[in-house]
Homo-oligomer: A and B are copies of this chain.
Amino acid sequence: MTPPHPAWLPVSAFRPVGSRRVRVTGAGTLVDTVRGEVAAAVAAHGGALVDDGPADLELVCGGDDGSEAFTVARAGATSVRADGGAGLLYGFHHVVRLGEAAFAADFAPERHAPRRSIRMLDHWDNMDVHPVMGQVERGYSGDSIFYADGRVREDLGRVEAYARLLGSTGVNRVGLNNVNVHRTEARLLTDLLPDAVRLADAFRPHGIRVHLSVGFASPITLGGLSTADPLDPAVREWWNRATAAVYAAIPDFGGYVVKADSEGRPGPFAYGRDHADGANLLARALAPFGGTVFWRAFVYDHHQDWRDRSTDRARAAHDHFAPLDGAFDPNVVLQVKYGPLDFQAREPVSPVIAAMPGTRLAVELQVTQEYTGQQKHVCHLVPQWSEILRFPLGGDAVGDIADGVVAVSNVGQDRFWTGHPLAQANLFGFGRLAWDDRLAPEAVLDEWIGLTFEDPAAREPLRDLMGDSWRTYERYTAPLGVGFMVNPGDHYGPGVDGYEYSRWGTYHFADRDGVGVDRTRATGTGFTGQYPAPWRDVYESAETCPDELLLFFHHVPYGHVLRSGRTVVQHIYDTHFAGVEEVGRMVGVWAELKGRVPDAVFGRVEELLAEQLRCATEWRDQVNTYFFRKSGVPDAHGRTIH
């Protein structure tokens, strides 16, 4: 079997460290991990791991307090000092990323600490293959790296390699199973707990705590009780016992992830209780052990009636959760999708993030490209996440408010891990932004390119190809923030009316006169009123609403003139032609990289770019034709609209 691609940790990336004399001081599991990294690097590159005597690089762990901060400085030798093993690990990888620059005479001291303690990847992996959703729900990279045939895999080599990759970026928590908990993986909490232990053992050396997604009805389905009522003493007792058993087996277990009363999952509503009752039940079982419950705010009515214009799925999370601010225990983290709908290429930031100052919050992103090209399209998402985390929602930026950043992972058994080899950059970039959302997306991309590709001539074309690819994807798909317009079910490729008459609450209301969703307070669903100032007013007016979100907030005529000076319909035509042109150009840029990147990577990306071009063309033609048929307005430039 071909070994999996080394991603951003190829042997070559360790040359600057590995060709030097390195001393590692300290003790503990993570210090041992760093020592192992150094040993491998010097073996490959001719340096030495030294116990005393002069060293070019000193890695010093001063304690074992779990601190994640570190300092890099240069005084004769370069040193990384940390108070805990995690800090040492992160500092070591920081030096790897710096490369030779870390050893320059004029290197100025740097202190680094993560902006938040929760940096988590959720896996939507099923233990059994689900008849509709497959083994990895919304997975585009082959089978689960964790599970095969209803159990955790025998060989966890790949999981260990994955843990190492994540640890190098600063990710420190992983959710082991799908938030839609099916029959088999539900048992990870009980009789299959030994399987979870094996995964925890694989992640632990890289500073990563594991979490289980659990079903709220577990006391019934696993425990044989007649209720899962969060206020029932027997239910509480059941969770207390189950949780104690998990901690007996996994002392550093991170906690639970819960999707409740959403899309058919069971939850506290069945017992007349609210989400705080539900979350606190689990939080209190976890608290004695230092565990956390991640309670998802993705709750809405998925049996909406398209005829009823008064309901608005965008309002749902705020309607459900904002009134509960202050009611959640301190070890509950409310996990809020970044936008009010569902991981679209463009959404406004969710108003829930500003609405719950008395609640710990994590922002949920999607590294797996469910709505952004499914790892068939180059769509570098770090700029999107950067925009979201920097967005000044209240007085503070989202990244200042969030206690955590969580995302859905994009890996699988695919030899490149992520289907599209360039999608590795999203996984890497997620970790980096979760650590520090103030990093420039371009700088993160450069880090990834520099680590992954040995040939410096690859850097410029890759920047060119990837840097703006999210905006390119946006151009050829749903316009002006209106979202969806995808094929129902699989969410790949255009389906302009795909969800227009469905129960999922994701509409665009295009008719012969105009398009968009009126979410204003004045005449629409009132969603704008969920935002703090100034956004409640900025979004309320079509004059001040940013172009890229216009159709998310307003229903406007096709002739409405955007702030860009173009009409809505001409904007649709222009961006769709431009988007496809850009993909065509990307094909050419990639062609230049032949011989500069490994052949297998080249071939895979070349194939996928052809699919991206085909699919983007289909998007362009369907969207343009759809709006031409509806509006009757011809393209100002006379280009072909079918």
Q: Mark A38-52, 1 if CB is under 8 A from B, else 0.
A: 000000000000000
Q: Nearest-CB distance from A629 to chain B (Å)? A: 4
In the bound complex, what is the Cα–Cα distance between A52 and B496 (angstroms)? 76
Q: With A307-B621, A501-B625, A625-B501 in contact, is A513–B642 under 8 Å at CB?
A: no
Within 497-528 of A, Cβ neighbours of B (below 8 Å) are at: 497, 501, 510-513
In the bound complex, what is the Cα–Cα distance between A631 and B622 (angstroms)? 19
Range class of the A interface residue count: 20 to 34
Q: With A497-B497, A621-B307, A622-B501 in contact, is A511–B642 under 8 Å at CB?
A: no
Q: Is there a chain B Cβ closer than 8 Å to A630's Cβ?
A: yes
In the complex the two chains form, is A629's CB within 8 Å of B512's CB?
yes
Contacts of A621 in B (CB 8 A): 307, 501
Q: With A307-B621, A494-B501, A496-B497 in contact, is A630–B632 under 8 Å at CB?
A: no
Partner of A511, one of B307, B496, B622, B630: B630
Q: With A307-B642, A621-B307, A642-B307 in contact, is A631–B512 under 8 Å at CB?
A: yes
Within 400-443 of A, Cβ neighbours of B (below 8 Å) are at: none
Contacts of A631 in B (CB 8 A): 512
| Of A307, A501, A513, A621, most B-chain CB atoms within 10 Å | A501
In the bound complex, what is the Cα–Cα distance between A131 and B130 (angstroms)? 11
Closest to A628 in B: B511
In the complex the two chains form, is A512's CB within 8 Å of B630's CB?
yes
Closest to A632 in B: B512
Contacts of A628 in B (CB 8 A): 511
Contacts of A306 in B (CB 8 A): 642
Contacts of A131 in B (CB 8 A): 131
Closest to A500 in B: B497
In the bound complex, what is the Cα–Cα distance between A510 and B625 (angstroms)? 11
Contacts of A510 in B (CB 8 A): 629
Q: Nearest-CB distance from A147 to chain B (Å)? A: 20
In the bound complex, what is the Cα–Cα distance between A4 and B131 (angstroms)? 30
In the bound complex, what is the Cα–Cα distance between A391 and B128 (angstroms)? 54
In the bound complex, what is the Cα–Cα distance between A306 and B625 (angstroms)? 11
In the complex the two chains form, is B307's CB within 8 Å of A513's CB?
no
Within 611-642 of A, Cβ neighbours of B (below 8 Å) are at: 618, 621-622, 625, 628-632, 642
* 7 shortest interchain CB distances as A-B pairs: A511-B629, A307-B642, A497-B497, A512-B512, A501-B622, A512-B632, A512-B630
Can you name 26 A-B pairs with beta carbons within 8 Å?
A131-B131, A306-B642, A307-B621, A307-B625, A307-B642, A494-B501, A496-B497, A496-B501, A497-B497, A501-B618, A501-B621, A501-B622, A501-B625, A510-B629, A511-B628, A511-B629, A511-B630, A511-B632, A512-B512, A512-B629, A512-B630, A512-B631, A512-B632, A513-B632, A629-B630, A630-B630
In the complex, besides A501-B618, A501-B622, A510-B629, 9 extra interface pairs with C-beta distance below 8 angstroms are A306-B642, A307-B642, A496-B497, A501-B621, A511-B629, A512-B631, A512-B632, A513-B632, A629-B630
